[in-house]
Chain A
Amino acid sequence: MLRYAVRRVGQLLLVVAALSVLLFAWLRSLPGGPVSALLGDRATAESRAALAATLGLDQPIPVQYLRFLHRAASGDLGISTGVQRGEPVLSILLQRLPATIELTLAAILLAVAAGIPLGYLAARHRGGWLDSAGVVGSLVGVAVPVFFLAFLLKFVFAVQLGWLPTSGRQSAGLDATRVTGFFVLDGLLTREWDAAWDAAAHLVLPALALASIPFAVIFRITRGAVLDVLGEDYVRTAYAKGLTAGVIRRRHVLRNALLPVVTTIGLQTGALLSGAVLTERVFAYQGVGQALAIGFTLRDYAVLQVVILAAAMTYVLVNLVVDLSYALIDPRLRT
């Protein structure tokens, strides 16, 4: 098992190294670059060339990559040229990660809390109004672009009804104490209840917008899985044995139907980052997704390469953990 684990970790390091090379080369092959963002529209060809030379951006890409590795080895992952000019990228990442995690968690919780019960009920009452409404709702959830839904939600609940804030993570001027960077949690920990409530209110609309796609997927998978399980022989047998309907639904139907749903939740959580790019931009939510969006507009190499690489590494690490756990369960996979 140890040999297998070492081999898999070695493979992971190779994958990450290859990824970093590809990402580095790809970013620098895009038209434009940080020089445009740094100099704006007031530059000349000479000043552009001079700045590129100062920052080493005129060097061949392999040389730039080696310089990046050299700096990274000493903990310097670069400094932002656009998202937050002059700020170390690691600091930007650490500062914005809690915002994205908070938003993603809220979105997936909403999606699960609505998707599983509704999917289950829709399957139990197949063909009924709830089923029809759920199916249509899930279609809309998948089909409507996140940014459009975001603007729509803001228009109704913030602009028209005034129930919720339109943007940001907390009201301007609230002067809340920061502890973990998770604003809701910080409010609870410091007993600044108004700050916690305010942060939660700021979470609702972006989380709803972000939850639309995972909700639709979870609803449909749950509904399909429950329908499949309801038709299984062991469910009929359970009824024949005289078990109560509640026990059958809870122990036999829901438990078995939830297996594919749990897998889907995992996959959807990973996919939420791409949705967060749009959602965070529209809601001026200071998370990693917004940093990616601004980073692309301003060609902030330092931020882009670290954020994208961090996201890729998260996927790779999760896969490693899954592979190792499979190998633990099934020794045949270790060869």
Chain B
Amino acid sequence: MPFMIRFRSRLTALAVAGAVALSLAACAQSQRGQEGSGAPAAGTLTFGAAGAPDLFDPFYASDGETFRVSRQIFEGLAGFKPGTADLQPELATGWSSSADGRAWTFRLRPGVKFQDGTEFNAEAVCANFDRWYHQTGAGQNLALSYYWNENFGGFADRARPSLFDSCTTQGPSTAIVRLTRATGKFPALLALPSFAMQSPTAMRRYQANDVTAQGDSFAYPPYARAHPTGTGPFTFAGYDQANGTITLRRFDGYWGDKAKLDRLIFRIIPDEKARLQALQAGDIDGYDLPNPADWQTLRDAGFTLQIRDPFNVLYLGITQKNNPALRDLRVRQALAYAIDRQALVSAALPDGAEVAREFYPDTVDGWAGDVQQYPHNPAKARELLAAAGAANLTVSFYWPTEVSRPYLPDPRSIFGTLKADLEAVGITVKPVSKPWNGGYLDDVDNARADLFLLGWTGDYNSPDNFIGTFFGSLRNRFWLAAAPWGPELVAALQAADAEPDRATRIRMYQEINRKLLAQYLPAVPISHSPPAIVMRQEVHGLVASPLTAEEFAPVSVAR
């Protein structure tokens, strides 16, 4: 090709490219506000989140990452005292109940407004209760309204009995909530993020209840995706999905002490090692649940590592459905004696972990203390197995992969230790490992495992939240339907929960705990592990919560 022709064709190509670029540039204009550019301001804190929140309407959520964000935007009638699992008034200034424990009167905090300017009053409280109770269709599904289903039961269509009866107002500052029966978990459950107060105006405007089952999933309304509106110290400013960041801004109309931060940003970094490096490089100011193996490194590097009080339990689950030998109490006790829980806690769990004597920590009501103990005793285990005719016991033992939980930081090593203990007393263990969401939970919940590893982090200070959840039904992962005492245990749990008198209720739970360990033993409690949260040294004011319910309003950053 002659030089001039080549030159012209290249020139034409350049001109076309230039024209395209210019026209694109003409269409594109900066929409940046004055404050947004440049490096993060002193009033900005960036927190590394392990995953994306499912949505921003806490009523339809049950995951920790959603709640971490929603706790800063919303408040409930009740809340938790910072650093504890103890209840304290929040949007209610106080409450009282009738003698039968079924009518609860809430006195509301005056002068509170939602972030959209809507007045917070008794009408708003009842609008929220009525919204929860009148869910229909997909809104009733456990995958969405988990906490309502678990705590209140049914809905207004009365397909199932509901704990909730009605909510009425008595002037603007008093709301009366009536229940169909007394329960020990009320009003503590109102401190759960799912039952936070949301602006009735915003919910109406952005169709908050418009959740539908669509295809293989659920479709959420605009409210849950972009317009959450509460009374909390921060407002929702946006979710930049392309960059994986959620931004909250200080709510200047907040009724209490205003947030010290101008902005609170959650940066989604799914990989734990990547969160550690982001903290070390100064890209984030803190993150939750650092790997216990990194705790000392973080301390040595000058980061502030706060170790929470353990509010969880790891247990060795026993399913009585498929293996008849496991229906014999002596065999289950042999499993408990075979395990060296103290050695496991020392070798495989972080500092501060402790052997679990019962199925919940001693800070929860009804902890007995004088339950039957199972110290490591292989000889006793062999003896019990022989007496039960199960000297050659074979069990399938499920353990999960692709997961780490505060109560189960390293499933492989915990499984390895337990397996060795069981084999040492002559039990043949058939290991089955499956990904957490790739068959493990499915198999465990369908009672396909003889033994399995699982646990629980408490939502609030209630024994029902632990043992009621574990053993409150017969056809569960332990398959209590196969145990002659199964119905007795379920009935005892229901009776204790329905007891209005706290002292009596505590005694009832203590009795259940004694029987659980001595006579039933549907599982073996193993340990309580303390989860940690780590922040840069320059971050002040964060109070670690045993419920992982940290509030960022009192937090400040010195840049």
Interface residues, chain A, with chain B CB atoms under 8 Å away? 30-48, 50-51, 54-57, 64, 67-68, 71, 76, 78-87, 95-96, 98-99, 151, 154-155, 158-159, 162, 165-181, 183, 186, 188-192, 194-195, 281-284, 286, 290, 294, 297-299, 301-302
Among residues of B, the one whose C-beta sits closest to the C-beta of A181 is B242
A260 and B85 CA atoms in complex are apart in Å by 67
Q: In the complex the two chains form, is A172's CB within 8 Å of B142's CB?
A: no
A78 and B271 CA atoms in complex are apart in Å by 26
Among residues of A, the one whose C-beta sits closest to the C-beta of B212 is A79
Chain B residues near A151 (CB, 8 Å)? 273, 277
Smallest CB separation, A331 vs chain B (Å): 26
Q: In the complex the two chains form, is A190's CB within 8 Å of B281's CB?
A: no
Among residues of B, the one whose C-beta sits closest to the C-beta of A150 is B274
Interface residues, chain B, with chain A CB atoms under 8 Å away? 21, 24-25, 27-33, 35-41, 44, 46, 52, 54-55, 62-63, 138, 141-143, 146, 150, 213-220, 224-225, 241-245, 247, 263, 265, 267-271, 273-274, 277-278, 280-284, 402, 434-443, 445-447, 454, 456, 469, 473, 475-477
Q: In the complex the two chains form, is A45's CB within 8 Å of B274's CB?
A: no
Q: Which of A83, A154, A173 has the most CB of B within 10 A?
A: A173
Smallest CB separation, B298 vs chain A (Å): 13
A290 and B284 CA atoms in complex are apart in Å by 20
A32 and B436 CA atoms in complex are apart in Å by 8
Chain A residues near B269 (CB, 8 Å)? 167-168, 284
Smallest CB separation, A268 vs chain B (Å): 25
Q: In the complex the two chains form, is A85's CB within 8 Å of B54's CB?
A: yes
Smallest CB separation, A158 vs chain B (Å): 4
Chain A residues near B225 (CB, 8 Å)? 86-87
Q: Which of A41, A54, A76, A290 has the most CB of B within 10 A?
A: A41
A-B contact pairs, 23 of them (CB 8 A): A41-B456, A42-B146, A47-B142, A48-B446, A55-B216, A57-B216, A76-B214, A85-B52, A85-B55, A95-B242, A155-B277, A158-B283, A166-B281, A169-B244, A172-B265, A172-B284, A174-B38, A192-B30, A281-B270, A282-B271, A282-B273, A284-B268, A302-B216
Q: In the complex the two chains form, is B438's CB within 8 Å of A32's CB?
A: yes
Chain B residues near A37 (CB, 8 Å)? 437
Chain A residues near B268 (CB, 8 Å)? 284, 286
Q: In the complex the two chains form, is A48's CB within 8 Å of B445's CB?
A: yes
Chain B residues near A64 (CB, 8 Å)? 216
Smallest CB separation, B9 vs chain A (Å): 19
A36 and B400 CA atoms in complex are apart in Å by 13
Q: In the complex the two chains form, is A44's CB within 8 Å of B476's CB?
A: yes
Q: In the complex the two chains form, is B142's CB within 8 Å of A51's CB?
A: yes
Chain B residues near A159 (CB, 8 Å)? 277, 280-281
Q: In the complex the two chains form, is B475's CB within 8 Å of A297's CB?
A: no
A174 and B242 CA atoms in complex are apart in Å by 13
Of the candidates A47, A55, A297, the one whose C-beta lies within 8 Å of that of B402 is A297
Chain B residues near A99 (CB, 8 Å)? 242
Smallest CB separation, A299 vs chain B (Å): 5
Q: In the complex the two chains form, is A169's CB within 8 Å of B281's CB?
A: no
Q: In the complex the two chains form, is A284's CB within 8 Å of B150's CB?
A: no
Chain A residues near B442 (CB, 8 Å)? 31-33, 35-36, 48
Chain B residues near A67 (CB, 8 Å)? 215
Smallest CB separation, B466 vs chain A (Å): 12
